[in-house]
């Protein structure tokens, strides 16, 4: 039998092994697989816990609190900010065994789930009821609802349906004291006490561990159609975005690519795009089959304007897939620019997109690094990709300082650090630029009420 | 010159008179007019402050904190729970002089306002931009945006567009320490730190005083049409509500009246309603003129089913007004039942409406008091009106105990105390039935971080 090499107190280890059985893991190899996330950061936890229910989570937190051991909640580690990396060691709490859908109530437009259910599995279970849960991060197939809630995950559909925070009714969670709290109710309206459930959403496991969620569902649209609009330049496309958001038909997706992204998708990705396109919008409408044509026409009308180069609506799903090909070709093509990428998801008011893209391009010129912008234009949520060679010290330094300038630019335009990825470790030190001192002090004070000993995901979100 | 009879320390009075000029009022007659709200409760404040800007509010709060004097934020006093009544004396802070619309940005779908602007004045200013702010309480013409936010006001449109909390992007507020905090950003997505702005919404002035709000706007629909559906009984109508909410076309309003309400609207209000109608739904669709007919047909199809007595769609605005006449006739007709009314706005999951209405009618029989239910069925948010004679001690006692049973019933059905009116004084003592002890303890702890001396609206929302 291999000796445990974990640094945890033996008493805690014995207690947890008794509580969790094979859901308590201390083997170094296994711990390693729970120590990283999609930020490419990693750290070795002292143990991994796989609780089966809320009682287990409470017992686990109380025991860790007694021993002063940190806890890091984990869905499937898809987040991009290091929020799931156990930088202070301690116990990673993986919710993979709490993955049940406890109820789907179509007439109430809600579902009750455990945190470990995969977003994609939930969508599959909802489909026969004609319902869906709006958050659709790229990782939907393999990220958990609990992780989506912890990070306030969004995705393209957020422009019409909102992000995770907009689609939660109630949460049950275990605080850093091991108390079970029940926040909100399974109703679409509520004015009873303080709204703690939306406070927990986006708190990245620093306030409490979510053990059950009552989710707000939306009726699944019967049909959807995509439109591809190409513009002479970014400014023309950005003006079109503002027109699209000022008219009554809200698109179900409104995605943007700057001229670098368009060129990459064409030259490297092989997408069918004309040479004079300086910016691209992918616009999608969803709704009833009988009214969709009208909605598509309204969106096309709003897309028309100075600088429009071409406008195509997909006639069917195959044509829709062809239109989306340019967007899908982009991520692999990016890698041809440089081996390293810093992908930041700053957000600005929609009307400030041109200034953001202009500022980023001026910065690219100054720092001599390629910067490619694309993302969820309808929310002003752009993914700014700084491409660099991590093996080149000068480039790495330029990339790091350029990233800081991108944040400063977004904030100066009335925006903020993150639209949907969150803060984690990656943006933690920039929080004081986005949040002023009294507000940040209040956030720390609130954190101390949920987690007086600071054992929940220490080092994340709030700067030290 | 009349001597001030206020109980406030003379030093505070001098300081505030110097700061606020004629915006500092201590005349007893004038104070009286700021001491009540629509709950019919009243209490005399020691002074009334009419600040002109956030700096004034900060100075006021800091001075009151030094002297341990309570502050009660006030919009126009339309709330129904006593939340604006200064039961502990102190200073009522009326925001009537902070009523400017600071900006309307159509492309960003947002408006920046001071808290004292009237909801109706904001809607008028937004109309030329083709936008509106979704909250539409009955009081919209004469209630303030700040008051709407403080109480998380809803209204019929919430079924499609959400309530106040769903339609705020950022808030600037002054805490009980006099600190100015800036929460959120003017973007429709955000994953940057804890969501304090939605925590402030519905906190009834107990955490901070809102001095500026950035509101999320929705595009104004070009057209709307109403449908009136009459059912044999409440159960049939409730099943129709569940069908309506399970299909893709979300109604822009979905209002319910029980058989007492229908009878009153007909016999007393003079509405044109058949004698065999045991429940009524008013269903409204809004959208583009070209697609509205389809949406209306989809809603009518969902409204059809067992127990339907009649189904009418309005052809034009005049017909729409005729259909709504029954709903509008109701409030005056209620007064014929008894001089006193307790109007509670409990909320339950939509599928539990039949049990709520059945339980309430059983309670009416037991307590020998008429109870009339109507309200926002699409959100499960019913207004339960207990009618009684306040001059009759026995009736008053019955009404009070019946109210407690209504709350217990709503909670047992998975609902909660209030959907849109809030807690204030009226429901404060029932909070421990709706919110369990650890969660309530956390709410108190959070309150203490915003307001360590407990000077902001003491006695409200949280039970002593």
Instruction: Using a CB–CB cutoff of 8 Å, tell me whether B135 touches chain A.
Output: no
Average pLDDT value for residue range A221-232: 94
Q: Distance, in angstroms, between B61 CA and closest chain A CA?
A: 15
Domain identity same for A226 and A328: yes
A110 and A194: one domain? yes
Q: Which of B106, B185, B446 sits opposite A194 (nearest CB)?
A: B446
Are the beta carbons of B345 and B416 closer than 8 angstroms? no
Q: Rounded mean pLDDT of A125-153?
A: 96
Angle (CA) B8 B11 B13, round 5° = 50
Q: CATH no. for residue B52?
A: 3.30.43.10
Mode of pairing for the β-strands spanning A279-287 and A381-388: unpaired
- Pair (B177, B106) in one structural domain: yes
Does B5 fall in a domain?
no
What's the number of domains chain A is made of? Answer: 4
Pair (B127, B89) in one structural domain: no
Residue A318 exposed, middle or buried by CB count within 10 Å (0-12, 13-18, 19+): exposed
**In B, which residues are within 8 Å of A431 by CB distance?**
192-193
Q: CB B261: neighbour CB atoms within 10 A?
A: 25
- Token digits of residue A378: 């309808």
Is residue A113 a contact partner of residue A123, using CB atoms and an 8 Å limit? no
Percentage, residues of chain A above pLDDT 90: 84
Q: Output the domain CATH number for residue A307.
A: 3.30.70.2190
Name the domain boundary from A334, A350, A374: A334
The pLDDT value recorded for residue B429 is 95
Rounded Cα distance between B185 and B168, Å, is 10
| B442 chain-A contacts, CB cut-off 8 A | 175, 179, 181, 196, 449-450
pLDDT the model gives residue A322 = 82
* Residue A4 predicted with pLDDT over 70: no
Please report, in tens digits, the pLDDT of each residue of chain B (464 residues total): 444 456 899 999 999 999 999 999 999 999 999 999 999 899 999 999 999 999 999 999 999 999 999 999 999 999 999 999 999 999 999 999 999 999 999 989 999 999 999 999 999 999 999 999 999 999 999 999 999 999 999 999 999 999 999 999 999 999 999 999 999 999 999 999 999 999 999 999 999 999 999 999 999 999 999 999 999 999 899 999 989 998 889 999 999 999 999 999 888 888 888 888 999 999 999 998 888 999 999 999 999 999 999 999 988 888 888 888 887 888 788 888 888 888 889 999 999 998 999 999 999 999 999 999 999 999 999 999 999 999 999 999 999 999 999 999 999 999 999 999 999 999 999 999 999 999 999 999 999 999 999 999 999 999 99
User: What pLDDT was estimated at residue B416?
Assistant: 96
| Average confidence score pLDDT of chain A | 94
> Would the CB atoms of A442 and B449 count as touching at under 8 Å?
yes
Q: Report the CATH number that the domain containing residue B293 is assigned in CATH.
A: 3.40.462.10
CA pair distance B408, B416, nearest whole angstrom: 9
Q: What CATH number did the domain enclosing A353 receive? A: 3.30.70.2740
Residue A5 has pLDDT above 70, yes or no: no
Instruction: For residue B188, list chain A residues with Cβ-Cβ distance below 8 A.
Output: 158-159, 378-380
* ipTM of predicted complex: 0.95
CA A270/CA B310 separation, integer angstroms: 59
Rounded to an integer, the average pLDDT of A196-208 is 98
Helix extents (H) in B10-53 = 10-20, 28-32
The pLDDT confidence band at residue A319, using thresholds 50, 70 and 90, is confident
Return the residue in B147, B190, B383, B446 with the most chain A beta carbons within 10 A, the one to mutate for interface testing.
B190
* B313 and B404 housed in the same domain: yes
Interface of B with A in 172-201 (CB under 8 A): 175, 179-183, 185-196, 198-199, 201
Find, among B210, B192, B166, B207, the residue nearest to B443 by Cα.
B207
Is A459 domain-assigned? no
pLDDT tens across A279-288, in order?
A: 999 999 999 8
Chain B CB contacts of A442 under 8 Å are 175, 179, 181, 196, 449-450
Instruction: Give the end of a domain, one of A219, A248, A269.
Output: A219
Across the range A351-371, mean pLDDT stands at 92
Is residue A239 in some structural domain? yes
Structural domain range at position B73: 10-94
Q: Which of A161, A188, A219 is the last residue of a domain?
A: A219
DSSP-assigned states of every residue in B326-369: HHHHHHHHHTTT-SEEEEE--B--GGGHHHHHHHHHHHHHHHT-
Q: What is the pLDDT of residue A3?
A: 43
Provide the pLDDT confidence category of residue A326 given band limits of 50, 70 and 90: confident
Q: Say yes or no: A252 and A329 in one domain.
A: yes
A290 pLDDT band, cuts 50/70/90, is: confident
How many CB atoms within 10 Å of residue A106?
21
pLDDT (0 to 100) of residue B6: 64
CA distances from B25 to B33, B48, B50 (A): 11, 5, 8
Angstroms from B399 CA to nearest CA on chain A? 22
Are B58 and B139 in the same domain? no
Nearest residue in chain B measured CA to CA from A445: B449
Q: What is the pLDDT of residue A6?
A: 64
* Confidence check: pLDDT of A270 > 60: yes
State the number of CA atoms in the 13 A half-sphere of B159 facing the CB.
Answer: 31
């Amino acid at each position: 039998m291999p000796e445990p090499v974990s640094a945890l107190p033996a008493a805690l280890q014995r207690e947890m092994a008794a509580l969790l059985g094979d859901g308590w893991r201390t083997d170094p190899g296994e711990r390693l697989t729970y120590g990283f996330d999609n930020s490419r950061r990693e750290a070795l936890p002292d143990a991994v816990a796989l609780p089966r229910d809320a009682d287990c989570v409470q017992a686990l937190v109380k025991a860790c609190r007694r021993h002063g051991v940190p806890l890091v909640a984990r869905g499937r580690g898809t987040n991009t900010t290091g929020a799931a990396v156990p930088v202070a060691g301690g116990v990673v709490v993986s919710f993979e065994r709490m993955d049940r859908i406890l109820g789907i109530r179509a007439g109430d437009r809600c579902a009750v789930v455990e945190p470990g259910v995969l977003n994609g599995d939930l969508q599959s279970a909802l489909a026969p009821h004609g319902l869906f849960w709006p958050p659709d991060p790229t990782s939907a197939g393999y990220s958990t609802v609990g992780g989506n809630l912890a990070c306030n995950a969004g995705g393209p559909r957020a422009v019409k349906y909102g992000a995770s925070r907009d689609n939660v009714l109630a949460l049950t969670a275990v605080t850093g004291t091991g108390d079970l709290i029940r926040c909100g109710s399974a109703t679409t309206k509520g004015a009873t006490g303080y709204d703690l459930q939306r406070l927990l959403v986006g708190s990245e496991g620093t306030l409490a561990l979510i053990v059950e969620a009552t989710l707000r569902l939306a009726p699944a649209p019967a049909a959807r159609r995509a439109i591809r609009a190409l513009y002479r330049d970014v400014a023309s496309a950005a003006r079109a975005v503002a027109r699209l958001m000022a008219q009554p038909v809200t698109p179900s997706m409104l995605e943007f690519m700057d001229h670098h992204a368009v060129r990459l998708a064409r030259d490297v990705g092989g997408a069918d795009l004309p040479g004079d396109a300086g910016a691209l919008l992918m616009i999608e409408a969803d709704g009833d089959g009988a009214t969709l044509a009208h909605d598509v026409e309204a969106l096309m009308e709003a897309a028309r304007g100075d600088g429009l180069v071409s406008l195509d609506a997909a006639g069917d799903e195959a044509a829709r897939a062809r239109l989306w090909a340019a967007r899908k070709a982009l991520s692999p093509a990016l890698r041809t620019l440089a081996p390293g990428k810093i992908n930041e998801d700053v957000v600005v008011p929609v009307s400030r997109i041109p200034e953001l893209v202009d500022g980023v391009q001026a910065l690219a010129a100054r720092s001599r690094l390629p910067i490619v912008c694309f993302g969820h234009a309808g929310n002003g949520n752009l993914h700014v990709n700084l491409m660099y060679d991590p093996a080149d010290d000068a480039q790495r330094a330029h990339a790091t300082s350029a990233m800081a300038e991108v944040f400063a630019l977004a904030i100066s335009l009335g925006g903020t650090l993150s639209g949907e990825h969150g803060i984690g470790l990656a943006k933690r030190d920039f929080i004081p630029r986005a949040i002023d001192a009294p507000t940040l002090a209040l956030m720390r004070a609130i954190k101390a009420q949920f987690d007086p000993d600071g054992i929940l995901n220490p080092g994340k979100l709030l700067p030290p």
